[in-house]
Amino acid sequence: MSEELGITVKKKDNTSEWYTQTIIKSGFVDYSKVSGCIVFKPLSYAIWEKLREEVDKRFKEIGLKNVYFPLFIPEKLLKKEGEHFEGFTPEVAWVTHAGKSKLSERLAVRPTSETIMYDSYSKWIRSWRDLPLRLNQWCSVVRWEFKHPTPLLRSREFLWNEGHCAYETMEELMKDKEDVLRIYQEVTEEYLALPGIPGKKSKKETFAGAVASYSIEHLLTDGKAIQGPDYHNDGDNFSKVFDITYLDKEGEKQYPVQSTFAITTRELGVMILMHGDDKGLIIPPKVAPIKVVVIQIGNDEEIHEKSKEICSKLEGCKLDNREEYTPGWKFNEWELKGVPLRIEIGKKGLESDKLTLVRRDTGEKIEVSESEIEEKVEELLRSIQDNLFKKAKKYLEDNIRDAENYEKLKEVLSKHGGFIKSPWCGETFCEEQIKEETGAKITNIPFRYQKPEGKKCLLCDKKAKYYVHFAKSY
């Protein structure tokens, strides 16, 4: 592949430039004329569709139902939320005119849907028999709140699910939390090959309006953390603001407790940064729209027919028989696009009954006979999927380091980055001081750790309440 078409920087030398070149040159996404908004090309959108399909299927199994609410939100509803929850000030895009006529009230382009959905919930929920109400929608949202967008990781418009549930009891909500976080972790691990650390957010990092927030945190190969899917326990805060009430079995007026949760197209960017290499994308087989590419070497009719025959036997197979490009050019192009497995078919191979298979993840070449091609391809795709996850998991675990005092935390940050496990008193003051001085924040309070018995906060002398992860993050 020519220098112009290939990736011109190494991932470890300039991750940002590598990422930009990779997503554009591979045909994953494209820029648009709207600042901060990208075009999801067929490759990226097919992966999002698969992710959405797997999450949605599991949502339905636990009783969630899909709905769709309007894209536009009246200003009075958005103001109602902002008046009650400090910190809830999304920079929204406004619709002010229809044609030449000025609207009587500005309409916000959906930054999130609590306001428009809960206005309806206040009409739909009247009795304990109306609960639980467990709804989800797949949609896009627009947030114009930052100056330097990064495609997929921080876009002004992105795709997501937003679940909005209402319950009689906190016990039901917490069971829902376990189910939803399990689904998110299962799909991101099994399909995107992305490990993560589930845990509870600190009070400072809790979503505005929520009682508690929970997240799955990823660690990227540049040593920085990035938040994945999340879940918010909103208690009865929103139900009180939007006057969502019901009569319980004793006829008493009650406020339901509510939850919200989401997974976004950010996961696609995390997948690229985690698995990609200097040649471009590496797409896990379970989400790859093209799992196998057959490269025809030579224009012989026998080779062409055999290539078509073999490709027809394989799921997710693409035949590249273009005559205008050399085999080497094709190899590099499909490596850039991240196709998990390549099969090379030429005259010499046909004569010896040997087909060459090349793994995208390791570059390993395997020779197999035509009779065993289907079984071997299936085996290799499973192996590639497993290897990508194991490699990412090892990287994650190898980059969690202990720091029981502040000096050690600063030392680990400067030398390694990654997640830093430290005892913390639970006070926002200490959390803010550490972030201000080091740039590292508390990503979450991992579920995996017991409480730190007999430990002091890494910054002050108070008794530590939690083990937390500090990290520099996107």
Question: Cβ distance 401 to 456 under 8 Å?
Answer: no
60, two tokens: 């339905």
* Helical axes 373-398 vs 266-275, angle rounded to 10°: 90
Using one digit for the tens of pLDDT, what is the confidence trace for 300-344? Answer: 888 999 999 999 999 999 999 898 899 999 999 999 999 999 999
Q: Give the pLDDT of residue 3.
A: 43
Q: Give the pLDDT of residue 84.
A: 62
- 15-275 belongs to CATH 3.30.1860.10: no
Question: Cβ distance 234 to 259 under 8 Å?
Answer: yes
Q: Give the pLDDT of residue 1.
A: 42
Q: Is 445 left (phi over 0), alpha (psi -120 to 50) or beta?
A: beta
Helices marked H in 276-419 = 301-312, 327-336, 347-352, 373-398, 406-415
Rounded CA gap, 219 and 473, in Å? 9
Rounded CA gap, 209 and 84, in Å? 8
- The distance between the two most distant Cα atoms of the chain, rounded to a whole number of Å, is 83
Question: DSSP letters along 70-117, please?
Answer: -SEEEHHHHHHHHHHSTT------EEEEETTEEEEEEEEE-S-SHHHH
Q: Give the pLDDT of residue 4.
A: 57
Q: Give the pLDDT of residue 352.
A: 84
Q: Give the pLDDT of residue 87.
A: 62
CA geometry: angle 139, 203, 409, nearest 5 deg: 110
Q: Which amino acid is at 22?
A: T
Distance of CA 367 to the CA centre of its chain: 36
Helices marked H in 255-370 = 266-275, 301-312, 327-336, 347-352
CATH assignment of 292-379? 3.40.50.800
The pairing of beta strand 317-320 with beta strand 292-296: parallel
The pairing of beta strand 212-219 with beta strand 197-200: antiparallel
Q: Give the pLDDT of residue 235.
A: 98
Question: Cβ distance 281 to 21 under 8 Å?
Answer: no
Using one digit for the tens of pLDDT, what is the confidence trace for 191-233? Answer: 999 999 999 999 999 998 899 999 999 999 999 999 999 999 9
Q: Give the pLDDT of residue 80.
A: 83
Question: Cβ distance 443 to 230 under 8 Å?
Answer: no
97, two tokens: 């005119």
Low-confidence ranges of the chain (pLDDT < 50): 1-3
The pairing of beta strand 365-368 with beta strand 355-359: antiparallel
414, two tokens: 């400067």
CA distance readout (Å), 374 to 41, 313, 359, 379, 382: 30, 7, 15, 9, 13
Rounded CA gap, 297 and 304, in Å? 9
Q: Do domains 15-275 and 292-379 have the same CATH topology?
A: no
Burial class from Cβ neighbours inside 10 Å (0-12, 13-18, 19+) for residue 260 reads buried
| Domain limits, the chain | 15-275, 292-379, 400-471
- The structure tokens 């093209």 sit at 290
- 400-471 belongs to CATH 3.30.110.30: yes
Rounded CA gap, 252 and 328, in Å? 74
- φ, ψ of residue 341 in degrees (nearest 5): -140, 140
Rounded CA gap, 415 and 360, in Å? 31
- The structure tokens 């090309």 sit at 41
Question: Cβ distance 273 to 152 under 8 Å?
Answer: no
Q: Give the pLDDT of residue 86.
A: 66
Question: Cβ distance 182 to 65 under 8 Å?
Answer: no
